[in-house]
Amino acid sequence: MFGTLRGALAGRKIAFDRDSFTAGVEGRIVGHGKTIKIRSIHVHYELAVPADALEAAERALMAHPAGCPAHESVKGAIEVTWDARVRAGDRTVELKG
């Protein structure tokens, strides 16, 4: 999903700080012994964009899961969620999807 979001931002010509663009991933595994299952995956993004690109960045975030082959491959079997903290100029916005 990280790479798909990068592509969505680049496709919209949104300049972003590549050094501060990060993603952390948490997974929840259930089961015991040899039989386990990934129940859910959650991705947290940190991103800085120019102030005038906030709305376009929000649209890219909302659309990126549907463009991600990994997300589309597991979406019926594993719950995949994301949230993002986007810094745009002097504003910070928290988004969830």
Nearest residue to 11 (alpha-carbon basis) of 50, 52, 64, 85:
64
Global pTM reads: 0.88
pLDDT in tens, 25-71: 999 999 988 899 999 999 999 999 999 999 999 999 999 999 999 99
Nearest residue to 87 (alpha-carbon basis) of 35, 19, 27:
19
Q: Which run of H or E residues covers position 3?
A: helix 2-11
Q: Tell me the CATH class for 2-96.
A: alpha beta
DSSP letter assigned to residue 16: -
Domain ranges of the chain: 2-96
